[in-house]
Structure 1
Amino acid sequence: MKDIYKKIAYRIVQILVVILIAAVAYFYLQLAITGHLDRDYLAMYNEIISNPIATAINVLMLMVFVITLIALIGDYWWGIAGSISLFAIMIFVDYQKIVSRSEPLLPSDLIMAKQVGGLIQMVNWLSIVELILFIALMLAAAYFLRKFTKKMWLTKHRIIWPLRVVVAIVGIWAFVFFFQCGNTNSLAYKQLTDLEIYNDNHNPLNVYRSDGTVIGFAFNVRSDPMKRPNGYSEKAIAKIANRYRIADAEKANIGKQPANIIYILNESLTNPRTTSDQYPLQEDSPLSYIDNILQNPQANQASGYMVSPEYGGGTANIEFEANTGFSNYFLKSIPYQDILPKKAYFPSVMHYLENYGYHSDAYHPFAGAMYQRPQAYQALGIHQFKDQKRLKGLQKSKFGEYYTDSSTYPNIYPQQKKAKQLSLVITMQNHMPYITNVGSQSDYQLEDPIKNNTDKTNKMQTYLQELHQSDQAFSKLVDHFKNSDQKTLIVMYGDHYPGDGLYDDLASDILTVHATPFVMVANFPLSNHQYGYFSPNYMSLLMLQQLGYPLTPFYNLLDQLHQQVPVLTKAIQMDDSGNQYTNSHYKKPKWQKSQAYRDYQMVEYDMTYGKGYANKYHMFTVSK
């Protein structure tokens, strides 16, 4: 009789352990998306219980996950250890993404698992070791608990097969059903909205924080990658193509056609002068050369600030906009991974310039497979891609983990021997993580420690030193082409602010932490010298206008949109009067009602997830 009571008590303990693990996992998942795992626990507890319905759903789904994994593995303690390990990995990734990019773990990130080798280089190795040790500890605990509770097991030390099958099927079905909630036509979506739990397509982090990580993740599993615009059809696209087809090619001033166009995305490039109030330096700006262009462009220079759609990461998304003219504002995907690999052709500035005799190559001193660049570049019309394995003379500085700009740029010098080259360069020098123990050796010291945080201060000083080296490398690149017999235009912009928690104190100043330097330098006079603020989807348009190239119907459409809303990103939008809009603004601004905005949205849908009618109606070729 005592054995029966012991087994009943053991089953109750097993159930309580599952509930406890789900509740603790949810608590730490919510902590992770604040970017502070050591945050006031009581404050987090109060925040969680303030939304009891959402909390109950999150914890319930985590319990279902644990029970399903136990059923699939066929052993209680191995299932518990596996669940805790997976939850720990989720918490770790969520925390790392929030610190580096202010963005939670999304379903689309799972595609990046194939590129884990490159991703690991971007995370502090000590954190990874700690995670591995924790998982090893969980597995060891499971091993000993199995031995300790052996007398309590069911027949043949396993859960009975029929029960396992039923539990696994029910659990999998529950997740399949729940993960439909991103589809606005699904029953799961309707049930959540009945409970006043809503999705926010433009800011998933808001949902993760207010309604829980599990619900936030589920909303993004089956959500439409881009909403189909009302009235989308072949006839509608044909009308748009005709609307922006202007027969003015013969009037275009293309006498300035350069033989070399160098198009540089400079990793995590910022201008410390714009944040000097919060982070004053003892010395002058580490960005002395680029800053001079930003403040006072000369006859052969132009400058402005590119407002990035990302923060701390997402380089390929900025690159997509700069190369194609399309915006991530409408998309819930990573185009380089989700769209371009499926396309044999995708409109780009490379394809446009190919019509004028240009040959396009790409250079990136890192793992070439990241973001599926080889497939994406092929669709964009890039003929040759050289990653770190094919680039020559690459070197690292003592302040960084990645190859320097100064050792990357010489790889494009041989292009001078060829006619009409576009060189796309994606640098890596300024990429996180930033080495703490060399920060004190930086030539650029902060006047005061950041909130008495020595590690963060040293990271910032390391970053500033890397910026200086990047600035000097760019200056040498310009000097190299200054006296070239071939006309050369160099376009360079920063993709986003650095991650690794450097500027998290400025998170509320959205424009500041999304605006990065943009400069043009040529060895001939330029016509436009000031660009103000703009988002990267206008980058190729501005470059072609600077060179006097005729515009395609698509670029004419983009030009009209630029005049109405020069900044179009999910984080922030800015209209022609300088008014700023964020996702906290629910009133529809006038530019969202404009013809150009509606046409742009429809053309983007057509070329990304639609039928591609715009190409059929010559939206991307010059009218003659």
Structure 2
Amino acid sequence: MNNLKKKVYLVTALLLVVLLPILYLLIIQSSQNSFDFAKAKDFFISNPNVFWLSYVLILTMTLIILSLVGSFIVTEFIFFIVIVGLAFANNQKVLARGASIYPEDIFMVREIKLLMTMIDRSELIKIVIFITVLIIVCIILFMFVRKTINFQFSRKIIYLLRGVLLLFSIFILFLFININEEGSTMNKFHKKIGIEFIDWSQVDNYRVNGFVLSFLNNSRVQTIKRPDGYSKDSVLRIVEKYKKIAEEQNKTKEELSDIDIVYVMSESFVDPSDTDLFYEKNEDPIPFTHELMQSSLSGKALVPEYGGGTANMEFEALTSFSNYFLQVIPYQSVVPKISGFPSVVSYVKAQDYIATAIHPFDGNMYKRVEVYKSMGFNQFIDQNDMSYTDKFPSGGAISDESAFNQVYDVLTKDDKDHFVHLVTMQNHQPYGAEYSDNPFEVTSDLLTDDVKERMQIYFKGINQSDNAMEQFIQKIDQLEKKTMIVFWGDHYPGQGLFSGIDDEYTELIHSTPLFIYKNFDSEYGDLGTQSLNYLTPNVLNELNVKESPFHVLLNTLNNEIKGLTRGNQLDSKGRQIDIFNETNYLALKEYEMIHYDLIAGKKYSEKSGFFKVK
């Protein structure tokens, strides 16, 4: 009887090892569409080559674990937990941002406690209950098998078989890992069977090639591709060209001094009137912001992300480099590795400014501690160092009012020149607060009642931010010191609030309010829609102060291309560029060359003083 049980177990285990990867594929693929298994099944039926290649990869990884741990039950338990966890994380990111998990996102697991605070509590409870039940079932099953079935195989044979299986599986995995290597076996094979990766649009890549292959495709990518013609001579030609222009233009400009500058990147702050065509509301949540934009230099910030990815917008605004050329999250993979990364911080510090970064959350998110150190900030004040920590709503994030109070303290503590960079946190998802006095009502046939409720909660939040900004500006207006406030929203909110229009109106849902206000000589001016890499050059132009050759290059590029993100490119008049042929834009090629030189090249530009004012 024991032999029969043993045979049944072995056959069952073998079948499950072969069949369970199909379930894993369905789980992870369904996470792309709110765990709709029917859509996942239809996707694989329509794309059999994608299915089989994905299946072999999942099976290979299962066999590697099996050969290492030697237990079928433990192997499948581990793999199932990993798949469910990855699927849940992917689903949450898709819901929040309309984008799937990338390999580099896995490094964010170090901040798992912080990330959990951003997830809807009801969803979190469901996944915890599910995993707990799964653990209990697996323990019971494992104990049952050990008690009822006595395996008497030779240890030498078992270890030999596991060793052979491990070597074979690692070999297959090695072939998969080199799928991006031009000329490799797997690279040739995936092209032969008609699978083409869409590197320029990861949204389309995951949609066309499925989660597993697209995730693999992104596992070994270059930080930035080497542009044609890169060499020391080509970089130095660019450097000398813009040095001459900067030297001539700076003759009529002043040194930056006696003006405090405050950058405010406001979490998920958008202009609700931009979507009046789709969603009706009973009143304007941000009346003061609208008033301010009519009396100061203002426009729209064209941002590269939707629903999240705050650090990517922050990178563009502070460094004037663009995510357009990068294949990674620069705060994670680029900036911390480069000491003294050129930025607005290095510019103002060269003018004897004190640079302060403020973020009312944990400073470790997106490696901000290392990033701000690389940029040269004199100090970084996160939630643990703040003097003002009132929250809005109660139990939520530190309020914008508290954050502005912290900024005001920095500006007024001495007579020195200050640059302050504030990244707010108040309006971060999830939007599940309960207000007894929320006056905002939203009407739309495009929204479910649940989404309407979240949008009304969101409107209450940005209304509070609008009030906080009004109080802050009133205090700034009372200062004798000249002060400039540079404000923009980092991205549209997630959780499906505006997902009904994100496919067709990509420019709209990637455009946030932007204004540059001064408590002196402030008057209306129209910036139009511009990507955030132009933010600092616009600030310097408004103040009529001296610029580096790099800033001159940016102004030249701004005359060619107003918006430069992967999803949207705008020409000199702010019109969508339908066919974006990069070779037609000289300044863009020069800009790309400088990107590569600093990030992955020999840094000829930095050594030649390209980022400094002379």
| TM-score normalised over the length of structure 2 | 0.94
Query: SS in structure 1 opposite 2:299?
Result: strand
Q: What is the CA distance between 1:527 and its match in structure 2?
A: 6.8
The within-5 A match list for 1:127-526 is: 127-150=123-146, 151-152=148-149, 154-155=151-152, 160-245=158-243, 246=245, 247-248=247-248, 250-254=250-254, 257-282=257-282, 284-294=283-293, 296=294, 298=295, 301-398=296-393, 401-414=396-409, 415-416=411-412, 417-435=414-432, 438=434, 441-448=437-444, 451=447, 453-508=448-503, 509-526=505-522
Deviations 1:475-501 (A, max 9, x none): 111111112110000000000001122
Q: What is the CA distance between 1:179 and its match in structure 2?
A: 1.9
Aligned residue for 2:601?
610
Q: Separation in 1 of the partners of 2:524 and 2:240?
A: 29
Q: Separation in 1 of the partners of 2:145 and 2:83?
A: 24
Which sections of structure 1, spanning at least 5 residues, go unmatched? none
**Kindly tell me: are residues 129 and 170 of structure 1, through their superposed partners in 2, closer, same or farther at Cα, counting changes over 3 Å?**
farther
**Kindly tell me: are residues 250 and 275 of structure 1, through their superposed partners in 2, closer, same or farther at Cα, counting changes over 3 Å?**
closer
**Kindly tell me: are residues 211 and 256 of structure 1, through their superposed partners in 2, closer, same or farther at Cα, counting changes over 3 Å?**
closer
Q: Separation in 1 of the partners of 2:182 and 2:335?
A: 26
Q: Separation in 2 of the partners of 1:567 and 1:592?
A: 16
Deviations 1:520-576 (A, max 9, x none): 111111477110101111111111111111221111111111111110001211112
Q: Separation in 1 of the partners of 2:435 and 2:305?
A: 26
Deviations 1:316-362 (A, max 9, x none): 11101000110000101111121111111111011111222211100
Deviations 1:549-604 (A, max 9, x none): 122111111111111111000121111243324xxx6x443x54221111100100
Aligned residue for 1:56?
52
**Kindly tell me: are residues 595 and 343 of structure 1, through their superposed partners in 2, closer, same or farther at Cα, counting changes over 3 Å?**
same
Residue type matched to 1:263 in 2? Y
- Whether contact under 8 Å (2:569, 2:580) holds in the other structure is no
* Identity of matched residues, %: 29
Q: Separation in 1 of the partners of 2:220 and 2:266?
A: 34
Q: Separation in 2 of the partners of 1:320 and 1:225?
A: 15
Which sections of structure 2, spanning at least 5 residues, go unmatched? none
Q: Separation in 1 of the partners of 2:428 and 2:508?
A: 19
Q: Separation in 2 of the partners of 1:289 and 1:592?
A: 43
Q: Which moved more, 1:111-120 or 1:216-225?
A: 111-120
Query: SS in structure 2 opposite 1:227?
Result: coil
Q: What is the CA distance between 1:43 and its match in structure 2?
A: 4.0
**Kindly tell me: are residues 185 and 288 of structure 1, through their superposed partners in 2, closer, same or farther at Cα, counting changes over 3 Å?**
farther
Query: SS in structure 2 opposite 1:155?
Result: coil
Q: Separation in 1 of the partners of 2:527 and 2:250?
A: 26
| Superposed CA RMSD | 2.1
- Whether contact under 8 Å (2:300, 2:529) holds in the other structure is yes
Q: Separation in 2 of the partners of 1:263 and 1:310?
A: 19
**Kindly tell me: are residues 399 and 515 of structure 1, through their superposed partners in 2, closer, same or farther at Cα, counting changes over 3 Å?**
farther
Deviations 1:436-470 (A, max 9, x none): 5x16742211135754x332221111100000000
Q: Separation in 1 of the partners of 2:255 and 2:592?
A: 33
Residue type matched to 2:93 in 1? K
**Kindly tell me: are residues 356 and 249 of structure 1, through their superposed partners in 2, closer, same or farther at Cα, counting changes over 3 Å?**
farther
Q: What is the CA distance between 1:173 and its match in structure 2?
A: 3.3
Deviations 1:186-239 (A, max 9, x none): 432222122221222222222222112111011111111110011111111110
Aligned residue for 2:530?
534
Deviations 1:44-65 (A, max 9, x none): 4222211101111112211222
**Kindly tell me: are residues 548 and 186 of structure 1, through their superposed partners in 2, closer, same or farther at Cα, counting changes over 3 Å?**
farther
| TM-score normalised over the length of structure 1 | 0.93
Residue type matched to 2:71 in 1? D
Q: Separation in 2 of the partners of 1:255 and 1:42?
A: 64
Residue type matched to 1:241 in 2? V
2:555 aligns with one of 549, 559, 565: 559
Q: What is the CA distance between 1:71 and its match in structure 2?
A: 2.1
Query: SS in structure 2 opposite 1:499?
Result: coil
**Kindly tell me: are residues 448 and 621 of structure 1, through their superposed partners in 2, closer, same or farther at Cα, counting changes over 3 Å?**
closer
Residue type matched to 1:173 in 2? F
Q: What is the CA distance between 1:23 and its match in structure 2?
A: 1.1
Q: Which moved more, 1:236-245 or 1:59-68?
A: 59-68
Q: What is the CA distance between 1:185 and its match in structure 2?
A: 4.9
The within-5 A match list for 1:66-77 is: 66-77=62-73
Deviations 1:96-150 (A, max 9, x none): 1101111111111122111222111111233223222222222222222223334
Q: Separation in 2 of the partners of 1:420 and 1:176?
A: 55
Question: How many residues end up aligned between the 2 structures?
Answer: 607
Q: Separation in 2 of the partners of 1:153 and 1:370?
A: 50
Aligned residue for 2:29?
30
Query: SS in structure 2 opposite 1:312?
Result: coil
- Whether contact under 8 Å (2:199, 2:205) holds in the other structure is no
- Whether contact under 8 Å (2:431, 2:454) holds in the other structure is yes
- Whether contact under 8 Å (2:2, 2:150) holds in the other structure is no
Residue type matched to 2:218 in 1? N
Query: SS in structure 1 opposite 2:179?
Result: coil
- Whether contact under 8 Å (2:355, 2:379) holds in the other structure is yes
- Whether contact under 8 Å (1:72, 1:168) holds in the other structure is yes
- Whether contact under 8 Å (1:553, 1:622) holds in the other structure is yes
Q: Separation in 1 of the partners of 2:278 and 2:567?
A: 22
Query: SS in structure 2 opposite 1:244?
Result: helix
Residue type matched to 1:11 in 2? L
Aligned residue for 1:20?
19
**Kindly tell me: are residues 18 and 153 of structure 1, through their superposed partners in 2, closer, same or farther at Cα, counting changes over 3 Å?**
farther
Query: SS in structure 1 opposite 2:392?
Result: coil
Is the counterpart of residue 595 in structure 1 residue 586 in structure 2? Answer: yes
Query: SS in structure 1 opposite 2:226?
Result: coil
